[in-house]
């Protein structure tokens, strides 16, 4: 791993939503802070007939819209735009590629520049792009290819996507993004677990009662309804983001984090392999599928999923699952996962709920106690809370009350919290793969999800309804409450 002096950052799908909303603002912040290699070009590619100036105008407008006002620096925007070039290519038409190849060769030290090919396009285009790059000699290391989810819709199609890319790129050149792994609070979970001593003796089935992972959105499917209907919450969220978070909570300490080693990815893979496979009976008992009907969100009436989509559908917009990690550390500790759209709040968090004290010497007390909890807030405000029981001040005996120690990133560090893409794009340029999903991880995650998806399909049950703006289907509460536990709403 070394920091290159020259880089060509090629964005296929440069006029698309992801490129304009996330990638360009991330590159802007990296450039503003002087983190890009000095000799970096950003080469946007798509089918639209544009020239450099036409694309720069689109990029300028995107930066004005998506970079927060306090970080808008017009001189820095223009500096970035000087690095930006645009090439029209229909990636499915081999005859249209030559201008891109000419642009790539048309620079000083063209052979030494690290080439990053960011495939911000539909997965059906991964094959044609990798093929053209490969047969024309542009896939040789140190070239890198970056792909976004979805990587397949089941195990077989994920393998097919991976095979397509691997035909021309070695695994050491393939960066599969799960942007959750670039979030500061998610990386801080690794630091909290592995740079402190106080948690490790407690981080197992002796002290932990269960773990909850919630990724709740208030938005519906919006203009992505067509795409979403072929995916659903299980494929869109659980197979990647929720399982990645579960891995970071459950993994064993790695020998080294980063440093060009594979330890983190090896340990995450072991967790995925330890997930208890679900039988059809397990799926019936331990999973809930839901779908929103019309309701109210933030005081406004909103349509149900089927009305938004315009036709009947069996796709779920909500999933809750009770999962088990079958290994020495976690035997008997349930991991409750839930995610959904059009819920009553927007939050992504991990809650580790500890066991009750074995004995209560305060049993004559007044007030309430709750089990200790560690909450890792991934969004909206990144931070961490430790929930303890404390004595309420006062002379009259012991009156106990739960209180929380609150670490808000925004308050604790007088620094801007970078967007996940900033960290991840810099890692791609540096060649650091730790926060990217390896092929075997993606496939192990699909292998666990597939029996659940198959059973849902064969049972052909309509997902359970929940009104938009609610906390999800009633069955998702039953799933956890029948175990004598409840979802923690912080």
Catalytic residues: 241
C-beta of residue 340 within 8 angstroms of C-beta of residue 318: yes
C-alpha span between 291 and 394 (Å, rounded): 49
Longest dimension (CA), the chain: 85
Residue 267 makes CB contacts below 8 A (sequence gap 6+) with 247, 251, 252, 253, 254
Partnered with residue 302 across adjacent β-strands are: 295
Stretch that binds ligand NAD, among 28-36, 44-52, 76-84, 299-307 (CB under 6 A): 44-52
Task: Pick out residues in 125-144 that bind ligand NAD (CB under 6 A).
Answer: 125
Q: 66-105 mask for ligand NAD (x: CB under 6 A)? A: -----------------------xxxx-------------
Question: Minimal CA–CA distance to 174: which of 134, 135, 147, 137?
Answer: 147
Q: Report, in Å, the least distance between residue 258 CB and ligand NAD.
A: 24
Q: Which of 6, 7, 8, 13 binds ligand NAD (CB under 6 A)?
A: 13
**Both tokens assigned to 39:** 């000799």
| 42: contact with ligand NAD by CB under 6 A | no
Task: Pick out residues in 251-310 that bind ligand NAD (CB under 6 A).
Answer: none
Q: Closer to ligand NAD at the Cβ: 211 or 449?
A: 449
Q: Which residue's beta carbon is nearest to the bound ligand NAD?
A: 16
| 145: contact with ligand NAD by CB under 6 A | no
Question: Minimal CA–CA distance to 81: which of 48, 113, 59, 103?
Answer: 59
Q: Helix, strand, or coil here: 370?
A: coil
Q: Report, in Å, the least distance between residue 233 CB and ligand NAD.
A: 14
Q: Report, in Å, the least distance between residue 246 CB and ligand NAD.
A: 20
Q: Closer to ligand NAD at the Cβ: 29 or 149?
A: 149
Q: Report, in Å, the least distance between residue 91 CB and ligand NAD.
A: 4
Q: Closer to ligand NAD at the Cβ: 5 or 17?
A: 17
Read off the DSSP letter of residue 124: G
Q: Closer to ligand NAD at the Cβ: 178 or 324?
A: 178
C-beta of residue 6 within 8 angstroms of C-beta of residue 39: yes
In 97-188 the beta strands, taken as DSSP E runs, fall at: 114-119, 144-147, 174-176
201 C-beta neighbours (distance < 10 Å), count: 9
Radius of gyration of the chain (CA): 24
| 25: contact with ligand NAD by CB under 6 A | no
Q: Closer to ligand NAD at the Cβ: 48 or 326?
A: 48
Would you tell me which residues interact with ligand NAD (CB under 6 A)?
Answer: 13-19, 46-48, 89-92, 120-123, 125, 148-150
């Amino acid at each position: 791993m070394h920091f290159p002096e020259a880089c060509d950052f090629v964005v296929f799908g440069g006029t698309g939503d992801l490129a304009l909303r996330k990638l360009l603002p991330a590159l802007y912040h990296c450039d503003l802070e002087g983190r890009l290699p000095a000799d970096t070009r950003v080469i946007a590619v798509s089918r639209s007939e544009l020239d450099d100036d036409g694309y720069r105008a689109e990029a300028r407008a995107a930066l004005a819209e998506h970079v927060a006002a306090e970080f808008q620096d017009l001189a820095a925007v223009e500096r970035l735009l000087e690095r930006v070039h645009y090439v029209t290519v229909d990636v499915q038409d081999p005859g249209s590629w030559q201008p891109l190849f000419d642009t790539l060769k048309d620079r000083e030290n063209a052979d030494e520049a690290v080439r990053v090919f960011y495939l911000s396009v539909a997965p059906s285009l991964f094959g044609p792009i990798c093929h053209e790059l490969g047969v024309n000699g542009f896939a040789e290391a140190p070239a890198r290819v970056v792909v976004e989810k979805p990587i397949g819709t089941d195990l077989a199609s994920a393998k097919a996507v991976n095979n397509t890319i691997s035909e021309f790129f070695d695994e050491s050149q393939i960066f599969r993004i799960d942007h959750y792994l670039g979030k500061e609070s998610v990386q801080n979970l690794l630091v909290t677990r592995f740079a402190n001593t106080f948690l490790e003796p407690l981080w197992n089935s002796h002290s932990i009662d269960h773990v909850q992972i919630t990724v709740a959105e208030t938005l519906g499917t919006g203009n992505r309804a067509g795409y979403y209907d072929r995916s659903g919450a299980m494929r869109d969220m659980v197979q990647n983001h929720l399982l990645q978070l579960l891995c970071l909570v459950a993994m064993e300490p790695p020998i080294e984090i980063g440093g060009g080693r594979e330890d983190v990815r090896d340990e995450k893979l072991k967790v995925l392999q330890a997930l208890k496979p679900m039988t059809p009976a397990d799926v019936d008992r331990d999973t809930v599928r839901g779908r929103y009907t019309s309701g109210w969100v933030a005081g406004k009436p909103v349509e149900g999923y089927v009305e938004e989509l315009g036709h009947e559908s069996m796709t779920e917009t909500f999933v809750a699952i009770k999962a088990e990690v079958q290994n020495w550390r976690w035997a008997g500790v349930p991991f409750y996962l839930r995610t959904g759209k059009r819920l009553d709040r927007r939050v992504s968090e991990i809650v580790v709920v500890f066991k009750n004290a074995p004995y209560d010497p305060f049993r004559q007390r007044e007030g309430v106690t709750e089990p200790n909890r560690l909450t890792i807030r991934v969004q909206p405000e990144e931070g961490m809370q430790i929930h303890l029981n404390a004595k309420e001040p006062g002379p009259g005996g012991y009156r106990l009350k739960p209180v929380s120690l609150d670490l808000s990133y925004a308050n604790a560090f007088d620094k801007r919290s970078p967007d996940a893409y900033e960290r991840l794009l810099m890692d791609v340029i540096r060649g650091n793969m730790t926060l990217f999903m390896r092929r075997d991880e993606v496939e192990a995650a699909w292998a666990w999800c597939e029996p659940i998806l198959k059973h849902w399909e064969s049972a052909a049950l309509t997902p359970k309804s929940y009104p938009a703006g609610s906390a999800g289907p009633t069955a998702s509460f039953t799933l956890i409450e029948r175990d004598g536990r409840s979802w923690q709403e912080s």
